[in-house]
Structure 1
Protein backbone atom coordinates (compact mmCIF):
# COMPACT_ATOMS: atom_id res chain seq x y z
CA UNK A 1 0.00 0.00 0.00
CA UNK A 2 1.35 3.36 -0.99
CA UNK A 3 1.72 5.70 1.95
CA UNK A 4 1.63 9.37 1.08
CA UNK A 5 2.47 11.96 3.66
CA UNK A 6 0.66 15.29 3.62
CA UNK A 7 3.11 17.89 2.29
CA UNK A 8 3.82 20.56 4.90
CA UNK A 9 0.39 20.12 6.46
CA UNK A 10 -1.21 22.19 3.70
CA UNK A 11 -3.35 19.56 2.09
CA UNK A 12 -6.07 17.10 2.95
CA UNK A 13 -4.52 14.31 5.00
CA UNK A 14 -6.54 11.37 3.67
CA UNK A 15 -4.73 10.24 0.52
CA UNK A 16 -4.48 6.50 0.98
CA UNK A 17 -7.61 5.50 -0.91
CA UNK A 18 -8.00 8.27 -3.46
CA UNK A 19 -6.48 6.18 -6.25
CA UNK A 20 -9.38 3.68 -6.05
CA UNK A 21 -12.11 6.22 -5.32
CA UNK A 22 -14.39 6.42 -8.40
CA UNK A 23 -15.89 9.69 -7.17
CA UNK A 24 -12.60 11.54 -7.65
CA UNK A 25 -13.29 11.76 -11.37
CA UNK A 26 -16.58 13.52 -10.63
CA UNK A 27 -15.14 15.79 -7.95
CA UNK A 28 -12.26 16.86 -10.21
CA UNK A 29 -14.40 17.71 -13.25
CA UNK A 30 -14.09 21.51 -13.14
CA UNK A 31 -11.73 21.28 -16.13
CA UNK A 32 -14.88 20.88 -18.24
CA UNK A 33 -16.15 24.26 -17.00
CA UNK A 34 -13.08 26.19 -18.13
CA UNK A 35 -13.41 28.65 -20.98
CA UNK A 36 -10.60 26.89 -22.82
CA UNK A 37 -10.60 29.28 -25.76
CA UNK A 38 -9.59 32.16 -23.48
CA UNK A 39 -7.34 30.19 -21.11
CA UNK A 40 -3.73 31.31 -21.34
CA UNK A 41 -0.43 30.14 -19.95
CA UNK A 42 2.39 32.65 -19.82
CA UNK A 43 5.99 31.52 -20.42
CA UNK A 44 4.98 28.16 -21.92
CA UNK A 45 7.68 26.73 -24.19
CA UNK A 46 5.14 25.33 -26.67
CA UNK A 47 2.17 27.53 -27.50
CA UNK A 48 -1.11 26.01 -26.35
CA UNK A 49 0.53 23.33 -24.19
CA UNK A 50 -0.73 24.95 -20.98
CA UNK A 51 -4.31 24.08 -21.91
CA UNK A 52 -3.50 20.37 -22.16
CA UNK A 53 -2.84 19.87 -18.44
CA UNK A 54 -6.50 20.49 -17.60
CA UNK A 55 -7.86 17.07 -18.43
CA UNK A 56 -10.01 14.26 -17.01
CA UNK A 57 -9.00 12.65 -13.74
CA UNK A 58 -8.39 9.30 -15.44
CA UNK A 59 -5.84 10.95 -17.78
CA UNK A 60 -3.87 12.66 -15.01
CA UNK A 61 -0.94 10.21 -15.27
CA UNK A 62 -0.43 10.69 -18.99
CA UNK A 63 2.91 12.45 -18.64
CA UNK A 64 3.48 12.50 -22.39
CA UNK A 65 1.16 15.51 -22.45
CA UNK A 66 2.63 18.33 -20.38
CA UNK A 67 3.50 22.02 -20.20
CA UNK A 68 7.05 23.22 -19.74
CA UNK A 69 8.26 26.73 -19.00
CA UNK A 70 10.41 28.55 -21.52
CA UNK A 71 12.76 31.27 -20.31
CA UNK A 72 12.94 30.39 -16.61
CA UNK A 73 11.13 28.41 -13.90
CA UNK A 74 7.94 30.47 -13.82
CA UNK A 75 4.53 29.57 -15.22
CA UNK A 76 1.38 31.67 -14.94
CA UNK A 77 -2.07 30.36 -15.82
CA UNK A 78 -5.07 32.64 -16.38
CA UNK A 79 -8.12 30.38 -16.13
CA UNK A 80 -11.57 31.80 -16.95
CA UNK A 81 -14.65 29.71 -16.20
CA UNK A 82 -17.90 29.63 -18.16
CA UNK A 83 -19.77 30.30 -14.92
CA UNK A 84 -18.98 30.61 -11.23
CA UNK A 85 -17.24 27.94 -9.17
CA UNK A 86 -16.67 27.19 -5.53
CA UNK A 87 -13.08 25.92 -5.54
CA UNK A 88 -12.40 23.30 -2.87
CA UNK A 89 -9.12 21.68 -3.84
CA UNK A 90 -6.27 21.44 -6.30
CA UNK A 91 -3.96 18.61 -7.41
CA UNK A 92 -0.65 19.06 -9.25
CA UNK A 93 0.86 15.98 -10.89
CA UNK A 94 3.87 15.16 -13.03
CA UNK A 95 7.04 13.14 -13.13
CA UNK A 96 9.16 13.21 -9.99
CA UNK A 97 12.10 15.35 -11.00
CA UNK A 98 13.84 18.62 -10.20
CA UNK A 99 11.62 20.37 -12.75
CA UNK A 100 8.48 19.68 -10.71
CA UNK A 101 7.06 22.93 -9.25
CA UNK A 102 7.56 23.37 -5.51
CA UNK A 103 5.11 26.21 -4.92
CA UNK A 104 1.82 27.50 -6.29
CA UNK A 105 0.13 30.84 -5.64
CA UNK A 106 -3.61 31.29 -6.19
CA UNK A 107 -5.32 34.53 -7.22
CA UNK A 108 -9.09 34.90 -7.37
CA UNK A 109 -10.95 36.96 -9.99
CA UNK A 110 -7.97 38.88 -11.39
CA UNK A 111 -8.25 38.43 -15.17
CA UNK A 112 -5.34 39.00 -17.54
CA UNK A 113 -2.61 38.78 -14.92
CA UNK A 114 0.98 39.12 -16.10
CA UNK A 115 4.28 38.51 -14.37
CA UNK A 116 4.26 42.18 -13.42
CA UNK A 117 1.19 41.47 -11.26
CA UNK A 118 2.40 38.42 -9.34
CA UNK A 119 4.28 40.50 -6.79
CA UNK A 120 0.91 41.22 -5.16
CA UNK A 121 -0.24 39.05 -2.27
CA UNK A 122 -2.02 35.85 -3.40
CA UNK A 123 -5.34 34.79 -1.96
CA UNK A 124 -3.71 31.50 -0.96
CA UNK A 125 -0.32 29.84 -1.39
CA UNK A 126 0.90 26.26 -1.06
CA UNK A 127 4.29 24.63 -0.89
CA UNK A 128 3.80 21.52 -3.00
CA UNK A 129 5.51 18.14 -3.03
CA UNK A 130 6.45 16.03 -6.02
CA UNK A 131 3.49 13.85 -6.97
CA UNK A 132 3.65 11.27 -9.75
CA UNK A 133 0.34 9.66 -8.78
CA UNK A 134 -1.93 12.70 -8.70
CA UNK A 135 -3.06 11.95 -5.16
CA UNK A 136 -1.92 14.92 -3.11
CA UNK A 137 -4.84 17.27 -2.67
CA UNK A 138 -4.36 20.83 -1.46
CA UNK A 139 -7.50 22.13 0.21
CA UNK A 140 -8.37 25.71 -0.60
CA UNK A 141 -10.13 28.17 1.69
CA UNK A 142 -13.70 27.60 0.56
CA UNK A 143 -14.90 30.91 1.99
CA UNK A 144 -12.22 32.74 0.02
CA UNK A 145 -12.67 30.79 -3.20
CA UNK A 146 -16.44 31.00 -3.32
CA UNK A 147 -17.98 32.64 -6.40
CA UNK A 148 -14.85 32.38 -8.57
CA UNK A 149 -15.22 33.25 -12.25
CA UNK A 150 -11.48 33.53 -12.94
CA UNK A 151 -8.54 31.76 -11.33
CA UNK A 152 -4.85 32.55 -11.78
CA UNK A 153 -2.18 30.03 -10.79
CA UNK A 154 1.41 31.20 -10.46
CA UNK A 155 4.20 28.64 -10.22
CA UNK A 156 7.27 30.72 -9.27
CA UNK A 157 9.88 27.98 -8.79
CA UNK A 158 10.73 24.27 -8.80
CA UNK A 159 13.10 21.83 -7.12
CA UNK A 160 16.24 23.11 -8.85
CA UNK A 161 15.91 22.68 -12.62
CA UNK A 162 16.23 25.49 -15.16
CA UNK A 163 12.65 25.03 -16.35
CA UNK A 164 9.40 23.81 -14.78
CA UNK A 165 7.28 20.95 -16.09
CA UNK A 166 3.90 19.60 -14.98
CA UNK A 167 1.39 17.26 -16.58
CA UNK A 168 -1.85 17.70 -14.67
CA UNK A 169 -3.72 20.39 -12.79
CA UNK A 170 -6.91 19.13 -11.18
CA UNK A 171 -9.53 21.51 -9.85
CA UNK A 172 -12.13 20.29 -7.38
CA UNK A 173 -15.31 22.13 -6.53
CA UNK A 174 -18.86 23.05 -7.45
CA UNK A 175 -20.05 24.82 -10.58
CA UNK A 176 -22.88 27.33 -10.86
CA UNK A 177 -24.32 28.75 -14.07
CA UNK A 178 -23.60 32.43 -14.55
CA UNK A 179 -26.60 34.68 -14.00
CA UNK A 180 -27.80 36.41 -17.14
CA UNK A 181 -28.87 39.92 -16.26
CA UNK A 182 -30.24 40.95 -19.63
CA UNK A 183 -33.87 40.20 -18.78
CA UNK A 184 -33.56 41.84 -15.40
CA UNK A 185 -32.10 44.99 -16.92
CA UNK A 186 -34.91 45.14 -19.46
CA UNK A 187 -37.50 44.83 -16.72
CA UNK A 188 -35.98 47.71 -14.84
CA UNK A 189 -35.85 49.80 -17.99
CA UNK A 190 -39.54 49.28 -18.65
CA UNK A 191 -40.54 51.08 -15.48
CA UNK A 192 -38.68 54.34 -16.17
CA UNK A 193 -40.06 54.36 -19.70
CA UNK A 194 -43.61 54.05 -18.40
CA UNK A 195 -42.99 56.86 -15.95
CA UNK A 196 -41.61 59.12 -18.63
CA UNK A 197 -45.15 60.38 -19.27
CA UNK A 198 -45.19 61.86 -15.78
CA UNK A 199 -41.86 63.61 -16.11
CA UNK A 200 -43.31 66.96 -17.26
CA UNK A 201 -45.62 67.02 -14.26
CA UNK A 202 -42.78 66.10 -11.95
CA UNK A 203 -40.65 68.84 -13.41
CA UNK A 204 -43.44 71.39 -12.94
CA UNK A 205 -43.89 70.34 -9.35
CA UNK A 206 -40.18 70.66 -8.80
CA UNK A 207 -40.20 74.16 -10.20
CA UNK A 208 -43.15 75.11 -8.04
CA UNK A 209 -41.46 73.84 -4.94
CA UNK A 210 -38.37 75.79 -5.77
Structure 2
Protein backbone atom coordinates (compact mmCIF):
# COMPACT_ATOMS: atom_id res chain seq x y z
CA UNK A 1 0.00 0.00 0.00
CA UNK A 2 1.30 3.41 -0.92
CA UNK A 3 1.75 5.32 2.33
CA UNK A 4 0.87 8.59 0.60
CA UNK A 5 -2.63 7.36 -0.18
CA UNK A 6 -3.19 5.43 3.03
CA UNK A 7 -5.93 7.13 5.02
CA UNK A 8 -4.55 7.36 8.56
CA UNK A 9 -5.62 10.74 9.90
CA UNK A 10 -9.13 10.75 8.43
CA UNK A 11 -10.62 8.44 11.06
CA UNK A 12 -12.42 9.77 14.10
CA UNK A 13 -10.45 7.44 16.39
CA UNK A 14 -12.44 8.35 19.51
CA UNK A 15 -15.71 7.26 17.86
CA UNK A 16 -14.37 3.93 16.52
CA UNK A 17 -16.27 1.10 18.20
CA UNK A 18 -16.50 -2.66 17.95
CA UNK A 19 -19.13 -5.17 18.99
CA UNK A 20 -17.89 -8.37 20.65
CA UNK A 21 -14.36 -7.12 21.42
CA UNK A 22 -12.80 -8.84 24.43
CA UNK A 23 -11.20 -5.63 25.76
CA UNK A 24 -13.17 -2.39 25.44
CA UNK A 25 -11.38 0.20 23.30
CA UNK A 26 -8.79 -2.18 21.84
CA UNK A 27 -10.28 -1.57 18.38
CA UNK A 28 -8.76 1.94 18.37
CA UNK A 29 -5.20 0.57 18.49
CA UNK A 30 -5.26 -1.41 15.22
CA UNK A 31 -5.23 1.75 13.07
CA UNK A 32 -1.55 2.66 12.81
CA UNK A 33 0.66 4.29 10.19
CA UNK A 34 1.66 1.91 7.39
CA UNK A 35 5.29 1.66 8.49
CA UNK A 36 4.14 0.45 11.94
CA UNK A 37 1.80 -2.28 10.64
CA UNK A 38 3.98 -5.12 12.00
CA UNK A 39 4.52 -3.44 15.38
CA UNK A 40 3.29 -5.38 18.40
CA UNK A 41 3.03 -2.25 20.58
CA UNK A 42 -0.45 -1.83 21.99
CA UNK A 43 -3.25 -4.36 22.20
CA UNK A 44 -4.66 -6.16 19.20
CA UNK A 45 -8.38 -6.51 18.59
CA UNK A 46 -9.64 -9.83 19.98
CA UNK A 47 -13.16 -11.20 19.89
CA UNK A 48 -14.69 -12.86 22.93
CA UNK A 49 -13.69 -16.50 23.43
CA UNK A 50 -15.83 -19.05 21.55
CA UNK A 51 -17.37 -16.30 19.39
CA UNK A 52 -15.26 -15.28 16.38
CA UNK A 53 -17.61 -12.53 15.12
CA UNK A 54 -16.49 -8.89 15.16
CA UNK A 55 -18.40 -5.83 13.92
CA UNK A 56 -16.20 -2.75 13.65
CA UNK A 57 -17.64 0.75 13.03
CA UNK A 58 -15.18 3.37 11.72
CA UNK A 59 -16.42 6.95 11.20
CA UNK A 60 -14.37 9.33 9.05
CA UNK A 61 -13.91 13.07 9.62
CA UNK A 62 -14.67 13.79 5.96
CA UNK A 63 -15.65 12.10 2.73
CA UNK A 64 -13.60 9.12 1.54
CA UNK A 65 -13.33 7.45 -1.86
CA UNK A 66 -12.18 4.00 -0.73
CA UNK A 67 -10.01 2.08 -3.20
CA UNK A 68 -8.62 -0.81 -1.13
CA UNK A 69 -8.11 -2.13 2.37
CA UNK A 70 -5.62 -4.32 4.19
CA UNK A 71 -6.30 -6.56 7.19
CA UNK A 72 -3.55 -8.25 9.20
CA UNK A 73 -4.79 -11.00 11.50
CA UNK A 74 -3.41 -13.11 14.28
CA UNK A 75 -1.64 -16.50 14.13
CA UNK A 76 -2.93 -20.06 14.64
CA UNK A 77 -6.20 -19.71 12.75
CA UNK A 78 -7.30 -16.53 14.54
CA UNK A 79 -7.11 -14.35 11.39
CA UNK A 80 -10.50 -13.32 9.99
CA UNK A 81 -11.59 -15.51 7.07
CA UNK A 82 -14.49 -13.42 5.74
CA UNK A 83 -15.27 -9.71 5.55
CA UNK A 84 -18.54 -7.97 4.71
CA UNK A 85 -18.50 -4.19 4.33
CA UNK A 86 -21.35 -1.71 4.81
CA UNK A 87 -21.07 2.05 4.34
CA UNK A 88 -22.72 5.13 5.87
CA UNK A 89 -24.75 3.23 8.50
CA UNK A 90 -24.92 3.86 12.22
CA UNK A 91 -27.50 1.22 13.11
CA UNK A 92 -25.76 -2.11 12.51
CA UNK A 93 -25.70 -4.99 14.96
CA UNK A 94 -24.94 -8.66 14.32
CA UNK A 95 -28.47 -9.63 13.28
CA UNK A 96 -28.77 -6.70 10.87
CA UNK A 97 -25.30 -7.38 9.41
CA UNK A 98 -26.21 -11.02 8.69
CA UNK A 99 -29.56 -10.10 7.09
CA UNK A 100 -28.55 -7.12 4.93
CA UNK A 101 -26.70 -7.41 1.64
CA UNK A 102 -23.24 -5.87 2.06
CA UNK A 103 -21.83 -3.29 -0.33
CA UNK A 104 -18.98 -5.75 -0.96
CA UNK A 105 -17.62 -8.92 0.65
CA UNK A 106 -14.35 -10.83 0.50
CA UNK A 107 -12.98 -14.24 1.42
CA UNK A 108 -9.79 -13.22 3.21
CA UNK A 109 -6.41 -14.94 3.28
CA UNK A 110 -4.21 -15.25 6.33
CA UNK A 111 -2.07 -12.14 5.96
CA UNK A 112 0.71 -11.72 8.51
CA UNK A 113 2.88 -9.08 6.80
CA UNK A 114 0.31 -6.74 5.22
CA UNK A 115 1.22 -7.45 1.61
CA UNK A 116 -2.31 -8.58 0.67
CA UNK A 117 -4.50 -5.69 -0.45
CA UNK A 118 -8.24 -6.13 -1.10
CA UNK A 119 -9.46 -3.77 -3.85
CA UNK A 120 -12.94 -2.31 -3.62
CA UNK A 121 -15.48 -1.70 -6.34
CA UNK A 122 -14.59 2.00 -6.29
CA UNK A 123 -17.88 3.17 -7.82
CA UNK A 124 -19.70 1.81 -4.74
CA UNK A 125 -17.30 3.43 -2.28
CA UNK A 126 -17.60 7.15 -3.14
CA UNK A 127 -18.72 9.60 -0.46
CA UNK A 128 -18.04 7.24 2.44
CA UNK A 129 -18.48 8.95 5.83
CA UNK A 130 -18.41 5.76 7.89
CA UNK A 131 -17.63 2.12 7.22
CA UNK A 132 -18.72 -1.02 9.06
CA UNK A 133 -16.49 -4.08 8.79
CA UNK A 134 -18.23 -7.34 9.71
CA UNK A 135 -15.92 -10.32 10.28
CA UNK A 136 -18.29 -13.33 10.67
CA UNK A 137 -15.66 -16.10 10.84
CA UNK A 138 -11.98 -16.93 11.19
CA UNK A 139 -9.77 -19.87 10.18
CA UNK A 140 -10.88 -22.17 13.01
CA UNK A 141 -9.66 -20.59 16.27
CA UNK A 142 -11.96 -19.94 19.23
CA UNK A 143 -11.46 -16.16 18.92
CA UNK A 144 -10.64 -13.76 16.08
CA UNK A 145 -7.57 -11.51 16.31
CA UNK A 146 -6.83 -8.43 14.18
CA UNK A 147 -3.57 -6.51 14.62
CA UNK A 148 -3.82 -3.93 11.81
CA UNK A 149 -6.31 -2.42 9.37
CA UNK A 150 -5.52 0.19 6.71
CA UNK A 151 -7.70 1.99 4.18
CA UNK A 152 -6.38 3.23 0.85
CA UNK A 153 -8.16 5.95 -1.05
CA UNK A 154 -8.80 9.66 -1.40
CA UNK A 155 -9.92 11.85 1.48
CA UNK A 156 -11.68 15.22 1.27
CA UNK A 157 -12.24 17.19 4.41
CA UNK A 158 -15.77 18.20 5.36
CA UNK A 159 -16.27 21.90 4.94
CA UNK A 160 -19.01 22.83 7.35
CA UNK A 161 -19.50 26.40 8.48
CA UNK A 162 -22.31 28.16 10.21
CA UNK A 163 -24.52 30.23 7.92
CA UNK A 164 -25.61 33.61 9.20
CA UNK A 165 -29.11 34.52 8.08
CA UNK A 166 -31.66 37.05 9.29
CA UNK A 167 -35.32 36.29 8.79
CA UNK A 168 -38.11 38.84 9.15
CA UNK A 169 -41.64 37.88 10.09
CA UNK A 170 -42.90 41.02 8.38
CA UNK A 171 -40.56 43.04 6.14
CA UNK A 172 -40.22 46.74 6.89
CA UNK A 173 -39.65 48.60 3.58
CA UNK A 174 -37.76 51.46 5.25
CA UNK A 175 -35.09 48.94 6.36
CA UNK A 176 -34.33 48.04 2.73
CA UNK A 177 -33.78 51.28 0.84
CA UNK A 178 -32.59 50.92 -2.73
CA UNK A 179 -30.36 53.73 -4.07
CA UNK A 180 -32.27 55.62 -6.73
CA UNK A 181 -35.49 53.87 -5.77
CA UNK A 182 -37.31 57.14 -5.08
CA UNK A 183 -36.72 58.34 -8.65
CA UNK A 184 -38.28 55.23 -10.17
CA UNK A 185 -41.63 56.07 -8.61
CA UNK A 186 -41.52 59.56 -10.11
CA UNK A 187 -40.78 58.32 -13.63
CA UNK A 188 -43.87 56.14 -13.73
CA UNK A 189 -42.09 52.82 -13.62
**Is this a same-fold pair by TM over 0.5?**
yes
Residues 170-192 of structure 1: CA deviation (Å, up to 9, x unaligned): 11111111131532xx4xx44xx
**Aligned mates of 1:66, 1:112 — CA distance in 2:** 25
- Aligned length in residues: 170
**Aligned mates of 1:165, 1:109 — CA distance in 2:** 25
Determine if contact 1:63/1:94 at 8 Å carries over to the other structure.
no
TM-score, length basis structure 1: 0.75
| Match in the other structure for 2:120 | 140
Residues 100-179 of structure 1 aligned to structure 2 (within 5 Å): 100-119=79-98, 120-179=100-159
Q: What is the DSSP-based 3-state SS (H/G/I as helix, E as strand, rest coil) of the residue aligned with 1:26?
A: coil
Residues 46-61 of structure 1 aligned to structure 2 (within 5 Å): 46-61=23-38
Determine if contact 2:8/2:150 at 8 Å carries over to the other structure.
yes
Residues 42-121 of structure 1 aligned to structure 2 (within 5 Å): 42-63=19-40, 65-71=43-49, 72-119=51-98, 120-121=100-101
Cα RMSD (Å) of the superposition? 2.0
Residues 128-157 of structure 1: CA deviation (Å, up to 9, x unaligned): 100111011111111111000010000000
For structure 1, list consecutive stretches of 5 or more residues without a partner in the other structure: 1-17, 19-23, 199-210
| Match in the other structure for 2:171 | 197
Residues 92-127 of structure 1: CA deviation (Å, up to 9, x unaligned): 113442111011110010014211320211100011
Runs of 4+ in 1 over 2 A off after TM superposition: 94-97, 193-196
Determine if contact 1:90/1:169 at 8 Å carries over to the other structure.
yes
**Aligned mates of 1:112, 1:172 — CA distance in 2:** 25
TM-score, length basis structure 2: 0.83
**Aligned mates of 2:8, 2:56 — CA distance in 1:** 13
Mean CA deviation greater in 168-177 or 60-69: 60-69
The alpha-carbon deviation at position 51 of structure 1 amounts to: 0.9
Judging by fraction of residues, say which structure has more helix. 1
Residues 16-74 of structure 1: CA deviation (Å, up to 9, x unaligned): xx6xxxxx22222x231111111101111111111111111011112454111014000
